[in-house]
Amino acid sequence: MTPPVGQALSDIAKRVSETRFPMQTDDSPEGRRLHRQLSSELTDYLLPRISRTRTPFLIAVGGSTGAGKSTLVNSLVGRSISPAGVRRPTTGNPIVVHNPADAAFFESSNFLSDLPRSSDPSAVDPSVILIPEEHVPAGTAILDCPDIDSVAESNRALARRILMAADLWLFVTTANRYADAAPWALLRDAAARHTSVAIVLDRVPPEANREVRHHLSSLLSSAGLANSPIFSVAELTLEDGLLPHSAIYPIRSWVEEVSSEVDSQDRIRRRTLDGSIAALPAQVKSLAGFVESQETAYEMLGRSLDENFRSAHEGLLQVFSDGRVLHGEVNARWQDFVGTGQLFRGLEPTMARMRDRISAVVTGKHDAAAPLHIAILRSAAISLRERAVAVVDAVNVDWQHQPAGAALVADHPELRQVAADLEDSVKAAVSDWSNEVNALVRDIGQGKKSKARILSFGVAGVCAVLEYAAFWDPESASAPGLPAQGSANVARSLAGTIFGEQEAANLIASIRDRFLTRAAGLVGGCRQPFDNALGQAAVPARQSGTLRAAGDRLEVAL
């Protein structure tokens, strides 16, 4: 193997190990399966063989449930090693029959490093069962795989993993099941990798032997395995649980011949290794396609989050500047604050008259400033809470329309609604803002210029006027049914009388900005649970691009 190929393989292994599938997309199950397969093939087969470490020649015995794999393994070895019986599936863990001289390799991390070792063939917990056997030639091992069509998905995945880690397959099927779909999916993969395969056709009625072998040969040829030898085993009575010597002899002789001839082993090793490496670029590019789907899903959820909260923040200025906060009870309290309808009809066009009227209201028995102030804060709080609920609902709707988003919402129930303490947070934000307005007015009232005017109106009255004016921007259009522009202009004019027109305009703008800042902080805080969920399911950047580049480098090196 040339250095460029070895370097490209190492790079692919690194990129595959870094690949993540946190998003639940439509194609993520298939992508995860391919990722597991590639990871296993690289770790279990390719990397050990390019590390210049001499590995034993691995012969994997695989096949469907009840095909007779374990009986074949036992018969090849000459004693009962692998459990065989009527209970299906019989083999749940891989059983490795090896020469004692090779024990160090199988006990090390070079082989299926993530699985513990055991010497008990009946072990229930996932493990690699190691069986030393003197009759197995040194440098060769026989692997009894779990069923490829097991009802347990973990068994199916492990069976494939063992087969893909082997140099040679002994594939066991029966006269009744040789055309099943499950075996042929694996056999086509073997053909694509140029893996050497021998077929053991078990329990063949003598009268059907010729016909079945002919049909099987045709299927193997169509699958790209025309040169695969076929061994037929008739339906026979077992002798102490083993196949009779005459039935097993052709298979055992062939295995011993392959195992004993170094040239034959090397030829099979090289063929399988070269085929596996040659098939790798296409698999890596296929994996990159699944990864790209992950990246797209992650980006779409992030973009939805950004757009909804950006829209929410942009909408805050409109909501808290177009007068809608002044609707309903606030408008009624304002009318009560500035006087009755009769007062407006007889009102002289001088601010001095208005100032005297409000001053009388504030200092008299009927304090209209407090109800107005409370109404403004209540209305502002309701609008602010509505904005928070609306943006959370909008993100939920968007995410629920995407499989990845729907899965995140299902996994994180806190995303489905606003935080339980939102009501308290809104009240605190509005109250803090009101206290800030009060402090500003009192601070300004320390100066000689505005002190007398503020005192004549009363601090509470001045605060109410400023708060009322803050929720109306002359540049914002009034929505239908909201207070007339005249009421807000009266508030601005009153503020101008107290502070001077320019200072009043600046003060009102500052008060509005302070409210919007608090509102933006509160609404922005509703994003945190979504950011947390996305962070936990983060897709590493540019995974698909680095995978494709790694596959291209190997393709060029080959």
Instruction: Characterise 112 by phi-psi region: left (phi > 0), alpha (psi -120 to 50), beta (else).
Output: left
Q: In angstroms, rounded to a whole number, what is the distance separating the alpha carbons of residues 493 and 383?
A: 26
The stretch 454-467 carries a mean pLDDT of: 84
**Is there a contact between 209 and 232 (Cβ–Cβ < 8 Å)?**
yes
Radius of gyration of the CA atoms of the chain, in A: 40
DSSP string covering 460-494: HHHHHHHHHHHTB-TTSPPPTTSPPHHHHHHHHHH
Same-domain status, 246 and 390: no
CB 280 within 8 A of CB 12: yes
Residues 236 and 333 in one domain: no
pLDDT digits (tens, 9 = 90+) for 200-241: 998 888 888 889 999 999 999 999 999 999 999 988 888 888
Please state the separation of Cα 385 from the chain's center in Å: 31
Q: pLDDT tens digit string along 312-341?
A: 999 999 899 888 899 889 988 988 888 743
Is the model's pLDDT at 512 over the cut of 90? yes
Is the residue at 279 inside a domain? no
Domain check: are 205 and 340 in the same one? no
- β-bridge pairing 168-174 and 230-234: unpaired
User: Could you tell me the two tokens for 386?
Assistant: 């509505």
CATH number at residue 72: 3.40.50.300
> How far is 91 from 106, CA to CA, in rounded Å?
19
- What distance in Å separates the CA atoms of residue 116 and residue 48, rounded to the nearest whole number? 19
**Do residues 445 and 342 both lie within one domain?**
yes
Alpha carbons 446 and 443: distance in angstroms, whole number: 5
- HEC secondary structure over 214-281: HHHHHHHHHCCCCCCCEEEEECCCCECCECCHHHHHHHHHHHHHHHHCHHHHHHHHHHHHHHHHHHHH
Residue 538 lies in a domain: no
pLDDT on residue 64: 86
328 and 255 fall within a common domain: no
Do 65 and 178 share a domain, yes or no? Answer: yes
Q: What is the mean pLDDT of the chain?
A: 86
Q: Which domain holds residue 121?
A: 56-260
One-character DSSP codes across 193-216: TT-EEEEEEEEE-GGGHHHHHHHH
Whether 28 maps to a domain, the answer reads no
Q: Are residues 502 and 395 in the same domain?
A: yes
The answer to whether residue 33 scores a pLDDT higher than 60 is yes
Is 193 in the same domain as 326? no
Mark which of 219, 235, 260 sits at the end of a domain.
260
> Residue 256: inside a domain, yes or no?
yes
Confidence of residue 84 (pLDDT cuts 50, 70, 90): low
Q: Would residue 110 count as lying in a domain?
A: yes
Cβ-Cβ contacts under 8 Å for 198 (sequence gap 6 or more): 168, 169, 170, 171, 228, 229, 230, 231, 251, 254
Phi/psi at 233 (5° precision) = -125, 120
How far from 552 is each of 39, 281, 411, 423, 452, CA to CA, in Å?
Answer: 18, 7, 37, 56, 81
**Closest CA relative to residue 46, chosen from 80, 78, 6:** 6
Q: How confident is the model at residue 475 (pLDDT cuts 50, 70, 90)?
A: confident
**Which of 208, 237, 260 finishes a domain?**
260
Task: Tell me, yes or no, whether 249 and 358 share the same domain.
Answer: no
The DSSP line for 283-336 is: HHHHHHHHHHHHHHHHHHHHHHHHHHHHHHHHHHHHHTTBSGGGSTHHHHHHHH
Work out the pLDDT band at 535, boundaries 50, 70, 90: very high
Indicate whether 365 pLDDT > 60.
Answer: no
The more confidently predicted of residues 24 and 343 is 24
Same domain, 217 and 353: no
Q: How many domains does the chain have?
A: 2
The answer to whether position 285 is within a domain reads: no
Domain membership flag for residue 182 = yes
195 and 343, same domain (yes or no)? no
User: Sheet harboring 128-132: ordered strands across?
Assistant: 117-118, 128-132, 95-98, 140-144, 57-63, 168-174, 196-204, 230-234
Asked if the structure places residue 26 within a domain, the reply is no
Note the pTM of the prediction, 2 decimals.
0.78
Residue at which a domain ends, from 218, 236, 260: 260
pLDDT-derived band of residue 371, with 50, 70 and 90 as boundaries?
very high
> Is it the case that residue 358 has pLDDT exceeding 80?
no
Same domain, 90 and 162: yes
Residue 364 has a pLDDT of 46
- Across the chain, which distance is largest between two alpha carbons, in Å? 124
